[in-house]
A = this chain, B = another copy of it.
Amino acid sequence: MSLRHALLGLLSDGEASGYDLAKRMDSSAGFAWSASHTQIYPELVRMADAGLVEVAAEGPRGRKEYRLTGEGLAELRRWLTDEPPDRNRRDESLLRVFFLGVLEPREAGRLLEEEGRQWAAMHERLVELDAAIPWDASPSDRFGRIALERGLRHSAAMAEWARWAAQHAATPAPRLRTSR
């Protein structure tokens, strides 16, 4: 139930409404987890029932600002330290690579080149994001920056891999050599 912990984490950075959380999810932590408002609103109600969050204030248009309770913060910490991360991989763009052999080599190469462009574009986006954010010395910014660094390295490595792969997709060499 990672949605719950994602919401606890986002709320640890300050009070927010479901609407706010949905938007935050689309930027920062959304690189790791996404959810639509239709999933967030009922989950917040369940979390309030469980005592993990509480309504801190109500605003215009029925806006409800949620705040983390002590119990909620404890649950977030427990999750981080005691529960082993779910390393279940689910990556559609990798899945596709396995099956590129059913296409013409040229077509497979073309798709890998496109994959490289996508990763390069993502890298570019992250570089700009990094430059645009006024990082401060707060713990949440420190780890936000560390998470972004992960994205930078990941996208750089994937863009490089895709370029390498595109070259090797069409070359009828009996054995591939790695670049490392």
Contacts and interface: CB of A to CB of B under 8 A. Distances in A.
A157 B180 CA distance: 12
B164 A158 contact: no
A61 interface: no
Copies assembled: 2
Chain A: interface size category: 35 or more
B99 A76 contact: yes
Given A33-B90, A101-B142, A174 B28 contact: no
Interface string A82-94: 0001111111111
Interface stretch (A14-22, A39-47, A48-56, A131-139): A131-139
A129 interface: no
Nearest to A100: B143
A169 interface: yes
A88 B105 CA distance: 27
A145 interface: yes
Interface of A: 2, 5-6, 8-9, 12, 28-34, 73, 76-77, 80-81, 85-103, 105, 107-108, 111, 118, 135, 137-140, 142-147, 149-154, 156-158, 160-161, 164-165, 168-169, 172, 174-176, 178, 180
17 contacts: A5-B99, A6-B95, A9-B98, A12-B102, A29-B98, A32-B95, A32-B98, A33-B90, A34-B88, A80-B102, A85-B93, A99-B143, A100-B143, A137-B172, A142-B168, A146-B168, A150-B161
